Chain A
Amino acid sequence: MPTPGIANFQDRYFLDYPYLDGTLLPNHIPIEVEDSEGLIVMEAHEGTSVLQRIYRTPTSPKVWDAKRFTFRLLASDEDAWRKFKQVKSRGGWVYFSNGMRCVDTFPAVSGTAYNLTRRLANGLVAEVTANPSEFPTRVYLDGVLTPGAATVVTQTVTAASTGEIMVEYTPAFRVAITSFPESVAAFNVGYGSVVMTEVIRNS
């Protein structure tokens, strides 16, 4: 039995080298990932809970959990350092993938097309494209793995069954670098504190 841990999950949870807008970043960057949205829990006068999630579009997953990535970047790889600078200066969004897995859930009706929160890394990130079995896209119907319940292409999920369809996949996040302060701690020791905020798009 393999050693428990995320590195030993059946489906890979890390890329060898994180991907940022066509550039591969240094390995083993520690990243903090925050959810920015989800279920809203309110308390009623009875003391019980009232649950609500915000409706977006008919084709959206039940929860749009836009991520926020923060990490400390050691100024050791000049290409990576330059890439972060360039992305931030462009003031737009780019694709980012570190192999992290995501799940989107849809109240699906057969024949209806839905949109994942973000696109598949497959087809964009070479490491994922080359190893689809290590970064699989799994489809569940009402909690049971049912590959035929939907087809998933890029960001579109077309339901072949009616019910709760859950898609587990390795995404490429659309991110904007919203903060990149630098510090030089000592001679030849520089750091950047990068904040990347996910940009949600419906397609």
Chain B
Amino acid sequence: MPSIELVTTLNLADNGVDVDTTLLTKYASEAVAESGVGEPGVFGEGEADWTVDTTLTIDSTPATLALPGFYGVVQEAGFEVYVDGTLVKGIGPITVSRAQNESQQSFSFMIELDEPGVSALGDPFAKLGPPTGISEIDIYGVYRGDNGTVYRYPLILGGIVDNSARECAIGKPGYREVHNGLDKGARFARQLITQILPAGHGLRRNRIVAKFLEAAGETDTGSLQGGERAFKEIQFVDADPVQAAQEIIDVENRRLRWNRRGKPIMPKLKPDSYSSAMDITEADILRISIVKIDAPADAVTEVTATGTEQVTDEEETCGFTPHETTVEAYSNFAPAEAYYSQGSGCALTALTVNAIADHQLNSLVITRTVTYCDTVIFEEVLEYGYFNPKTARYSWNAPGDGTDNGTWDCIGSIPASGVYLYSDATVNGNEDAYAYRVEKWFPIRHTTVVHCFDSPGFSPLSPGSRFEHMPVTMLGSTPPGYTGYDNGRYLGYYRITRGWYAPEEATLFRYANPASSAWEYWHRDGVHRFGSGMGVWDGSLPDAFEVPGLSTFGAYVPGLNRGPSRGERFTVTEAEIKFIKSTEDGYVSGETTNIYGWAIHPLGNDYQFADGQLSDVDHEELILRYTNQTTYRQVSETTMSTTVTTKELGRSARQTITTEEGSLPGATYLPGYEPVVPTTVDGEEDLAEAVDARSGVSQLIKIVVEADDLLVSHLQRPIKVNFPYAESLDELANIAVALIEESLTFEISLTLAANFLLEEGSIVRLTYRPGGIEARYCVVDEITWTHDGEKTSPVLTNMILRLYPDG
């Protein structure tokens, strides 16, 4: 898998943020005004979008009302709360809070109970919840000018009360009901949506977010603006639409929320362009609370951002890609050494043991895979280590006199090896012997897996097979699942395991005893056995999977030493073959797993093995030991039955049938052959920018942004972040810079008289000389409008502003 890595430097000199790379793209200012609505002109998306509400007339009067200190006017300000369009009278304390980083904005208001037990808003006991139920809550900030005009500014539209509480006290505060709620976004946030967009869809992120919200029931999505085009596959199943949408737009440093007019928007935290909505000075900032200026405390000095970039078919280069990993294990040890050597006369000769422990390699595991566009089609695991194969210790010497009175002669040597024993050995004992005096470096186990697909080049019988070693005849003349068509469906796999194994040989055979004229079991002349008694077959062993009728597969193993001819040898120990049968419409209808291994043939009684088993074959064979056949059948629209039939060597088949809710399993496909997945991409217009691309075909992208200038005054603080929905290095670079900038912002808390013209995301010019601030722009991060309900208390606006390094 190729990866791209770039290093760039963030230069904070000259009171500005500049990135020394051409990779960064500054996005053009974009309009947020809905088409045909609002004042003429184009507004940066970071601006307060109060300017586009047709119900509001923005002239000098409300502007001066919003800043009574600066303009020296008297501000008349208050709130109005509507429930399903009806004005609620008698509102007491009220607070509306909005924040850039919150997907849902909050409010709280209190009303007195008209009389004990009765609320103007309804009966919570009848609703089994807040008395307003799912009614729409609209909250306005209101000014009245000296010209008699009333200006209403929506603070929350289409909100919903999510909890209410009656608070009753004798005397003050008396009997009242407090309502806490969230804005319109809460109506969609907990819905569950399933949205799938295929790779290469080409939709802009604002359209993706719109689709998520529309699936949750939001119909007014035209206000979503400004997303970049995306091509990566998107799959959300039973997901929260707001959380899912936020994940998609995180990489653009955008936040999804509903604005004051109840319309979903997704502006950037730090806007690309700055058009100040308002000047705020010391004349507007009230002494009723202190002004607090928090300096950046935890500056990020380096960001490593990673992601993946969708590769389209036009640029697709994935093809067949080999991967290899090697794991070496070292420890302090010495290969085991034998204590004795056995002679043909059974004498044990003591050996000099030289073993000295040393720090050395004792295990090596090499894993190789081959992928085709991220789909694994070949796997191989090769394990090496120190090993000493067991070898035969005795051989039967028959008398040749028509009786079974022979002897077990000791074996003194074996071709290419000897007979060695460890410290517990005794003369003529039943301890096992080994082939070498010292353990040798051997391959211990070798496993290979080949995955087959119903497509040319990916199947044993397909033309141009890429697997020259495929056991072509294994499947028979008409292999299950193979249709001969190029449909890319997964057919199954072959897993071949090799290791050290000594096939057992019978030590007795049935012989007609002339003396008794009866069949008896006599020892076989020349048969070899281990010290423990098991017979050892010394016939030819397969390097590869060589069951009758099959060709070889994966014969080559680096470093192979097959070991002694009469003992454990490196050979095929097991073969597992799985066939998957699929229907034409892409469902799995059956699976068959066959496992081959060494076993004593279960029929006949001509030979007897050490543990008493009888057979008509004198040694173990590599034969079919186990079969599991599973068949799926759709019984009805909602139920399916599963039939499992198993058969083990020498045992009859066993069948189990279960029926349960569900449908047939879906077939697996080779990349590029996936069937068309139903998506919400509807209409040609949506797909106008779509390109051909495949699921999971992507390349790693990575960028490192360093802000070295910060190291003069900040400790090194690198962070690593992954953005799964990033589309390009440009995007990674932008978000990396944004993360650094966000960590460098000052937070300024202050209080104004009621200011309903600002909202979260608004840009203001701030002059607060006592605190040393003369900022060209600050971004309103959080804003709260509040009134405590007391007749002599003012309506206040508390704000937290963010001042960026270039502000």
Contacts and interface: CB of A to CB of B under 8 A. Distances in A.
A66 B68 contact: no
B78 A54 contact: yes
Given A51-B68, A52-B753, A53-B74, A42 B794 contact: yes
Nearest to A41: B794
A202 to B, nearest CB: 8
B145 A48 contact: no
B282 A44 contact: yes
A52 B288 contact: no
B548 interface: no
Contacts of A45: 282-283, 285-287, 291, 768, 770
Interface string A140-151: 000000000000
Interface in A51-98: 51-56, 58, 62, 66
Contact of B284 (A44, A53, A54, A58): A44
Contacts of B288: 42
B144 A42 contact: no
B726 to A, nearest CB: 44
Contacts of B281: 46
A1 interface: no
B589 interface: no
B792 interface: yes
Contacts of B54: none
B69 A58 contact: no
A43 B287 contact: yes
B148 A107 contact: yes
B754 interface: yes
B142 interface: yes
A36 B793 CA distance: 12
Nearest to A66: B791
A55 B792 contact: no
Interface string A154-180: 000000001010000000000000000
A106 interface: yes
A48 B282 CA distance: 9
A37 B793 CA distance: 10
Interface hub of A50, A58, A66 (most chain B Cβ within 10 A): A50
Interface residues of A, number: 28
A43 B291 CA distance: 14
A40 interface: yes
Given A50-B753, A52-B753, A109 B148 contact: yes
Given A42-B286, A42-B288, A43-B286, A54 B77 contact: yes
A39 B69 contact: no
Given A50-B75, A50-B753, A107-B146, A36 B286 contact: no
Contacts of B77: 52, 54-55
Interface string B276-311: 000001111111100100000000000000000000
Contacts of A58: 144, 150
Given A44-B69, A44-B285, A48-B283, 20 more contacts: A40-B793, A40-B794, A44-B284, A45-B282, A45-B285, A45-B768, A48-B69, A50-B68, A50-B286, A51-B73, A52-B76, A52-B754, A52-B794, A53-B74, A55-B77, A56-B78, A66-B791, A107-B144, A109-B148, A112-B148
Contacts of B78: 54-56
A68 to B, nearest CB: 11
Contacts of A121: none
A106 B69 CA distance: 22
B76 A54 contact: yes
Contacts of A107: 144-148
Interface of A: 36-37, 39-40, 42-46, 48-56, 58, 62, 66, 106-109, 112, 162, 164
B791 A37 contact: yes
B286 A54 contact: no
A62 B73 CA distance: 14
B170 to A, nearest CB: 15
A36 B791 CA distance: 8
Contacts of B754: 52
Nearest to B142: A55
Contacts of B76: 52-55, 62
Interface string B541-565: 0000000000000000000000000
A51 B792 CA distance: 12
Given A52-B75, A52-B754, A40 B792 contact: yes
Contacts of A49: 69
Contact of B144 (A39, A55, A164): A55
Interface in B370-401: none
Given A45-B287, A45-B768, A54 B791 contact: yes
Contacts of B258: none
A49 B288 CA distance: 12
Given A45-B291, A50-B68, A39 B74 contact: yes
A44 B69 CA distance: 7
B143 interface: yes
Interface in B766-787: 768, 770, 787
Interface string B744-756: 0000000001100
A126 B161 CA distance: 50
Interface in B138-183: 142-150
Interface hub of B282, B291, B753, B791 (most chain A Cβ within 10 A): B791
15 contacts: A40-B793, A44-B285, A46-B69, A46-B283, A50-B75, A50-B753, A52-B75, A52-B76, A52-B77, A52-B753, A52-B794, A54-B791, A109-B149, A112-B148, A162-B148
Given A48-B69, A50-B284, A42 B770 contact: no
A54 B788 CA distance: 12
Contacts of A55: 76-78, 142-144
B795 interface: yes
Interface hub of A45, A58, A164 (most chain B Cβ within 10 A): A45
A162 B68 CA distance: 23
B555 to A, nearest CB: 87
Nearest to B74: A51
A46 B150 CA distance: 29
A142 to B, nearest CB: 11
Interface hub of B75, B148, B283, B284 (most chain A Cβ within 10 A): B148
Contacts of B284: 44, 50
B786 to A, nearest CB: 13
Contacts of A43: 286-287
A44 B147 contact: no
A62 B143 CA distance: 12
Contacts of A48: 69, 72, 283
Interface hub of A36, A53, A164 (most chain B Cβ within 10 A): A53
Interface hub of B76, B78, B142 (most chain A Cβ within 10 A): B76
Contacts of B69: 44, 46, 48-50
Contacts of B142: 55
Contacts of B753: 42, 50, 52
A159 to B, nearest CB: 8
Contacts of B791: 36-37, 54, 66
A69 to B, nearest CB: 17
Nearest to A114: B148
Nearest to B144: A55
Interface string B400-426: 000000000000000000000000000
Contacts of A51: 68, 73-75
Contacts of A106: 148
A42 B287 contact: yes
A66 B68 CA distance: 25
Nearest to B285: A45
A52 B285 contact: no
Q: Which 9 A-B pairs have the closest CB atoms?
A: A55-B78, A107-B148, A46-B282, A50-B69, A109-B148, A45-B282, A51-B74, A46-B283, A37-B791
Nearest to B141: A55
A78 to B, nearest CB: 32
Nearest to A112: B148
A52 B74 contact: yes
A46 B69 CA distance: 9
Contacts of B795: 52, 54
